[in-house]
Amino acid sequence: MWWSTGSAAGRGSVLAYVPSEEGHAAWYLGYARDAGAAEECWRVVERVGISADVEASITDG
């Protein structure tokens, strides 16, 4: 698993390579900081190789 946050552009990401019967599965989540929020808040702006259901099961939902 690889992640990054805190960029000057207010972007972050999570990239994972997960073992599977076929070899591996890879997925990516791209985040953007919500500049208008009262507290630090990140929202998903790009999703590759992962469904919203699976994302919700491994994050705060």
Q: Locate the domains of the chain by residue range.
A: 2-58
The end-to-end CA distance of the chain, in Å, is: 19
Per-residue confidence (pLDDT) for residue 47, from 0 to 100: 93
Per-residue confidence (pLDDT) for residue 20, from 0 to 100: 82
Instruction: Based on DSSP, count helices (H) and strands (E) in the chain, helices before strands.
Output: 1, 4
Q: What is the pLDDT of residues 8-60, one digit of tens each?
A: 778 889 999 888 888 988 999 998 988 777 677 888 899 999 988 888 887 76
From the list 59, 53, 61, 60, the residue with the least C-alpha distance to 1 is 59
Q: Which amino acid is at 56?
A: A
Per-residue confidence (pLDDT) for residue 34, from 0 to 100: 81
Model confidence, pTM:
0.73
